[in-house]
Copies of this chain bind each other. A is one copy, B any other.
Amino acid sequence: MLEIVIIGSGNVAQHLIRAFSESGKVSVAQVFARNPDSISHLIDSSKIIADFQQLKEVPVYIIAVSDKAIAEVSQQIPFQGKIVLHTSGALAITDLDAKNTRGAFYPLQTFTKDKEVDFRKIPVGIEIEKGSFEAALKDLAFTISESVFKITSEQRKALHVAAVFVCNFVNHLYKIGEDICTKNNIPFEILQPLILETADKITQLSPSAAQTGPAKRNDTTTINTHLQFLADGNKAAIYKLLTKSIIDNG
């Protein structure tokens, strides 16, 4: 069975440890974790290390740490000629140390500790500098995901920016919706079917075809009523900018 080592103990690392362990096709030989407690429920403690000198020699290392630590961690790996992958949306594979074959293993999902996800449904973007290793990397990704796609470092950066818009910023708009509900004694749960339907729509319609609302109709009466209602300067500024963007760009 293919042995891999995962470096990191945050959200992405934890989801990868669980997914590979459950795959039955890949063995997580070791996890490097500065904070062993955070992953002790996921893997036998004998396999958790916090010193690179104890690192086991395996064919594949996956670095799932914060972007700013990735380059240095890749230098700390005391082997060469291995496959070393990072999971970052923002970094190029050339940010990794060149002594190993560099690549990316980018699961496109929002991970939080308290919410389980089905890894098989998560698209994984792969990139590797040597074409001869591509099939192996693809096989590795398919052990935990049904959706594996090739992507360049430039495309991955674009995808990461797009993900910030459709996930991080979208979630912040949910937060604003919740704030407005709370302030007006309305249970936020009332908005949930609308939120789920809005997301579900774009599996059948393009976002342009799915767009509704006062901005889409250029309904200035309602828009002005809403802006008067939004005494809060920050929410009003967001309302104005997004309304203008819908009117200008559809």
Contacts and interface: CB of A to CB of B under 8 A. Distances in A.
Interface of A: 11, 66-68, 90, 108-112, 114-115, 117, 121-123, 125, 147, 149, 151, 154-155, 157-178, 180-181, 183-187, 190-217, 219, 221-222, 225-226, 229-230, 234-235, 237-239, 241-242, 245-246, 248-250
Nearest to A240: B241
A183 B200 CA distance: 23
Contacts of A237: 241
Contacts of A174: 165-166, 170, 202, 207, 210
State the copy count for this chain. 2
Contacts of A229: 157-158, 161
Contact of A241 (B110, B154, B241): B241
A193 B121 contact: yes
A interface secondary structure, majority: helix
Nearest to A206: B178
A199 B201 contact: no
B175 A211 contact: yes
